[in-house]
Structure 1
Amino acid sequence: MSRIRSVVAATPAINRRTVLAATGAAAVSAGIGYALRPTDSQAATTAGEAHEATVAHSRQVESAPLAPYTKGTTLATVAAPRTSAPYRRLGDGPGWSRVVRSELAAPKTGRAGRRTALAAFVQLTDLHLIDAQHPMRLEYLRATNPHSWRPHEALTVQGAVSLVERINALRGAPVTGSPLHFAMTTGDNTDNNAKSELEWFLKIMSGGRIQPNSGDPRHYEGVQNSGLKLYWQADSAVRDGDKQLGFPHLNGFLAAAIREVRSPGLNLPWYSTVGNHDAMPLGCYGHGDSWLAEYAVGGRKLMSVSVADSKKLQAHISAGDDPKGLAFRDFLKAHSRDMRSVTPDDKRAPYTPADYLKAHLDPAYRGVGPVGHGYSSANLDAGTQYYTFRIADDVIGISLDTTDPGGHYEGSIGTAQLKWLDKQLRDNKDSYAIVFSHHTSKTMDNTSHRDPAHPDERRHGGEEVVALLGSHANVLAWVNGHIHRNDITPHSAPDGRSFWEISTASHVDYPQLARVIEIADNKDGTLSLFTTLVESAAPHRTDFSDLTQTGLAALYRELSYNAPGASKVLGGDANDRNTELVLKKG
């Protein structure tokens, strides 16, 4: 198959281990059911202007090519426990080595000296920025499942800012030395579909000051100063269940947690993909119930229920048999006398898909760009949240919307989007394609709930998407999140076409990672995709007396490691971490 010439081949004066920063991350089309031309929407009309801004602010190519490096990545070191149970302090642990995976193609010797970089980018996923005082939260399910509430949830903003700081400090792509073209967030950027959380996310990514607080501006009002032993009472002398497991008593913790945080914003362009927690309250309930919307901004909050009631609600959520939240509404009404008073706050209101798009298009959150961060005014007009963009001369990116507006936390896509995806791949058959989504192929099994806006449209699951992607020779990878675990899966079709599915761990559960992905042409009939995991910039060691922004980010990681019920296998095994994924060229 013929290909558009590579970025490096088009510029022979540049060493083959570098890529012109000017080629990356310019949005060229948006998904509204067809590929947009620059005149089709306001956002697309300004794409040239956005591209100029991107070029002006992109990281500059080094005067000499960068050699492969490990500093600031998990190749060098990874946070690891340095003390014994019950509460384990973290420190510097050994790095994770790179593993070559050859299930889809045999690696050939000498490729490191031949290869040419095509593109490099960073994936962030499942940030789950949490308004920890929001009335709609389900902390009380901890009575049944200890991981339903996590002791570090008040520190998601500090942790995410530290991740941005780490990405900004990277010298470039660790293997090829290419400048990083862009960052992509693959959904669950927010936790509870709350306007407060959406504002925090956009400021973290684009830069600004964030007050990670809602309700009373003077102090925290939530489960961590409730006196309930079900939750870690960090500021209190209460001997709660977490303190019995070794969690510390930290005077001033809650005041520090809601103190203003400053984010530098990413110093490279960034794009956004929507997840179920972005699209729906609690990540599983469809919009439309006015009582639940009023409860979200109101002055009452449920903080504890019986074990029996916790099990009953958890069963409804797991089964997905309450997509509109009617049983949840009745549950809350039945417990109205058990609720505690909090300060009402309109900023906690659920946001609609249109609100989500408008916020991304707001010039206040442009940062380095591009305008809309992938979304366009055409998306707004059509009511869609999927789009295509140009990564480099011969690489495109396709961002999907795998959330189901009908409800439930698992994913699917409608027929219109599936046909659009097929058309994008056919129309760009001479470009390699990287597909982004929130859900993985195995978690796209929610096909029974119809989209209220398109009740007659069929929903399609992960197997159908895998089959479609496998029918196109230009697909290299499907990059996603949702499962909070590192997992890399090879997909091959009978005719030899193949691609890698790259799922990355979240930044809310330990080990709290992001992933650098590089695409390289080995000049021998194969391509290599390099994946390199990174942690936040916060130090591995914590100091309980350090409640600064950086100190809290370090504490965020350590608390997540020790969270009761937390899985210790989300990092995946060596084959899912730092890898070289080899593919045959189409």
Structure 2
Amino acid sequence: MSRTRSVAASTPAVNRRTVLAATGAAAVSAGVGFALRPTDSQAAATTDQAVVAQSRRAAAAPLAPYTKGTTLATVAAPRTSTPYRRLGDGPGWSRVVRGELAAAKSGRAGRRTALAAFVQLTDLHLIDAQHPMRLEYLRSTDPHAWRPHEALTVQGAVSLVERINALRGAPVTGSPLHFAMTTGDNTDNNSKTELEWFLTIMSGGRITPNSGDPRHYEGVQNSGLKLYWQPDSAVRDGDKQLGFPHLAGFLAAATREVRSPGLNLPWYSTVGNHDAMPLGCYGHGDSWLAEYAVGGKKLMSLSASEAKKLQDHIKNGNDPQGHAFRDLLKAHARDMRSVTADDRRAPYTPADYLKAHLDPAHRGLGPVGHGYSSANLAAGTQYYTFRIADDVIGISIDTTDPGGHYEGSIGTAQLNWLDKQLRDNKDSYAVVFSHHTSKTMTNTGHADPARPNERRHNGQEVLALLGRHANVLAWVNGHIHRNDITPHAASGGRSFWEISTASHVDYPQLARVIEIADNKDGTISLFTTLVESAAPHRTDFSDLTQTGLAALYRELSYNAPGANRTLGGAADDRNTELVLKKG
């Protein structure tokens, strides 16, 4: 295979690589998924997208290597020792060279050629914090089942977009960033409000992160219940006893209009279990739950014993259709509080998800459909292939199980399609994107209602398939909310890296830049560099502006009771150089 051309070529003309990166390239393959042939999505792309992608080229003067705006330079860290810890500038994370799959050869930095560069965002979990279907009351048995920062997910995500827009290019090679990929759980509760907010954040526009009564917040944070942080109230709730502040005006500020610039590069979308199913675990079909989602009643408290029973049901996958959950809600009808009904909170179907991505109002810098096409809509699939650069393709797969439960799997048709895409594009390197990791694709016991006779396949089977193809470089995913990078060695010298990135809802709230470079010595290097949002590390409790709230979002997430402080991963899961033998 000849793979020698650089992404950062010096010619100013808009070349094929730039156009492909801006517009995508996807088409129907045997009625499901997409392959690299022209489609209505590609045909609908316009020249202005190519010009924008061109503007993201590396400048004539070398940009790289650089650290500004990345976790190589600085990372938010606690600066006080009180129970509620204030954040500030902390030391950066150094880059670690990993040679488990191939030895790193000296002199490679002077030889290498950049092939591609992109940004991964994952697990944004945009939350409609007033939605009746939320499980805040599980906090009575698990302190982290509700988090004090959940009303600020929109402000935090916009600040992450601002950080990505400010990057000068790829930190190691100086390559332009071709695109961003969101690897699922873009929304939290399969709510149309959340989907609208996500698409607007990514493509640009105004968002009012409020539902129900447009005049004020209606939810657990002004309920007077000491189980939750009551920021506007003097109530001595459990979180204030841990040092959380009294912030008059917090809820009004959290529900004010927010403006997103939208990403200044093309972006693609991969579906996660929270995007696909209510609460990320219940299959569609229960009409009572659908009505409850848009209705005027909300359960805000539950005994610890009942909360534990419900949480165990969810963890064990014992209630994939939510029937026991529905019965619990019905049993507590008299305990519910009145809220303003809102049809915008309705759950969305897979077809709704695709139509929203294809809506011209959410096009941003493209591509049209953000990887999905009308052919996906017709086939009822949410997986596709796209061209990243001359020598690299991307493959987005759908690992959610519509039969229910939060862990993943894929059906036989999609597994066969993935194998075909890799065979048909054997002369291009491949990066596979999914929501679930190989270890969390264990949900094979629930049939897909649309394909009840189709077998479901686990992560080990996907690993085995990928290991049969020499062109696979990486499997990029999320779901576990933790930075984790795993080498996978297969027979015949084939190998690839599995790159899992932390969420943007739990601390340390990160995204990841991934660069692919040919070292011209028989090896490929994948560089991973983590970035935080653009919000300052230090917070000011009197600053309730959009930026001030984004900073507070990070600090609250650090202090959230029950939060896992190990999600940043080890040093070799963060900023890395991952070396591979060329296939």
TM-score for both structures, normalised by structure 2: 0.97
Matched, 1:320 2:317: yes
- SS of 2:210's equivalent? coil
- SS of 2:97's equivalent? strand
Q: Which runs of 4+ in 1 moved over 4 A?
A: 11-14, 18-23, 34-39
Matched, 1:440 2:437: yes
Partner AA of 1:54 in structure 2: A
What is the percent sequence identity of the aligned residues? 82
Kindly state the Cα deviation for residue 64 of structure 1 after the two structures are TM-superposed: 1.9
- Gap change, CA 1:331 and 1:8, over 3 Å in 2: closer
Q: Distance in 2 between matches of 1:552 and 1:24?
A: 34
Partner AA of 2:51 in structure 1: V
Partner AA of 1:24 in structure 2: A
Ranges in structure 1 where 5+ consecutive residues have no aligned partner:
none
Tell me which of 71, 75, 78 is aligned to 1:74. Answer: 71
Contact kept, 8 Å, 1:402 with 1:438, in 2: the verdict is yes
Matched, 1:43 2:33: no
- SS of 2:493's equivalent? coil
Kindly state the Cα deviation for residue 28 of structure 1 after the two structures are TM-superposed: 1.0
Deviation readout 1:110-165 (Å, 9 max, x if unpaired): 00000000000000000000000000000000000000000000000000000000
- Gap change, CA 1:358 and 1:506, over 3 Å in 2: same
Deviation readout 1:213-264 (Å, 9 max, x if unpaired): 0000000000000000000000000000000000000000000000000000
Tell me which of 336, 343, 346 is aligned to 1:346. Answer: 343
Q: Distance in 2 between matches of 1:229 and 1:35?
A: 51
Q: Distance in 1 between matches of 2:378 and 2:11?
A: 44
Tell me which of 387, 398, 401 is aligned to 2:398. Answer: 401
Partner AA of 2:112 in structure 1: R
- Gap change, CA 1:168 and 1:148, over 3 Å in 2: same
Tell me which of 370, 383, 391 is aligned to 1:373. Answer: 370
Partner AA of 2:41 in structure 1: A
Q: Distance in 2 between matches of 1:546 and 1:38?
A: 50
How does 1:60-459 map onto structure 2 within 5 Å?
60-459=57-456
- SS of 1:24's equivalent? helix
Q: Distance in 2 between matches of 1:68 and 1:77?
A: 16
Partner AA of 1:583 in structure 2: L
Matched, 1:510 2:500: no
Contact kept, 8 Å, 1:8 with 1:19, in 2: the verdict is no
- SS of 1:582's equivalent? strand
Contact kept, 8 Å, 1:142 with 1:148, in 2: the verdict is yes
Ranges in structure 2 where 5+ consecutive residues have no aligned partner:
none
Matched, 1:54 2:53: no
Q: Distance in 1 between matches of 2:50 and 2:227?
A: 48
Q: Distance in 1 between matches of 2:351 and 2:162?
A: 30
- Gap change, CA 1:36 and 1:105, over 3 Å in 2: closer
TM-score for both structures, normalised by structure 1: 0.97
Q: Distance in 2 between matches of 1:465 and 1:442?
A: 10
Q: Distance in 1 between matches of 2:471 and 2:256?
A: 48
Query: 1:501 maps to which residue?
Result: 498
Q: Distance in 1 between matches of 2:33 and 2:481?
A: 32
Kindly state the Cα deviation for residue 38 of structure 1 after the two structures are TM-superposed: 4.8
- SS of 2:32's equivalent? coil
Kindly state the Cα deviation for residue 438 of structure 1 after the two structures are TM-superposed: 0.1
Give the paired residue count.
578
Q: Distance in 1 between matches of 2:33 and 2:290?
A: 34
Kindly state the Cα deviation for residue 87 of structure 1 after the two structures are TM-superposed: 0.2
Kindly state the Cα deviation for residue 59 of structure 1 after the two structures are TM-superposed: 1.6
Deviation readout 1:91-122 (Å, 9 max, x if unpaired): 00000000000000000000000000000000
Deviation readout 1:28-75 (Å, 9 max, x if unpaired): 114653644655x432432xx346523345424312231200000000
Q: CA RMSD in A?
A: 1.5
- SS of 2:307's equivalent? helix
Partner AA of 1:6 in structure 2: R
Kindly state the Cα deviation for residue 351 of structure 1 after the two structures are TM-superposed: 0.2
- Gap change, CA 1:232 and 1:580, over 3 Å in 2: same
- SS of 2:104's equivalent? coil
Tell me which of 479, 484, 488 is aligned to 1:487. Answer: 484
Matched, 1:519 2:526: no
Contact kept, 8 Å, 1:193 with 1:282, in 2: the verdict is yes
Partner AA of 2:382 in structure 1: Q
- Gap change, CA 1:485 and 1:549, over 3 Å in 2: same
Contact kept, 8 Å, 2:320 with 2:403, in 1: the verdict is yes
Contact kept, 8 Å, 1:126 with 1:186, in 2: the verdict is yes
- Gap change, CA 1:515 and 1:34, over 3 Å in 2: closer
- Gap change, CA 1:317 and 1:487, over 3 Å in 2: same
Partner AA of 2:515 in structure 1: E
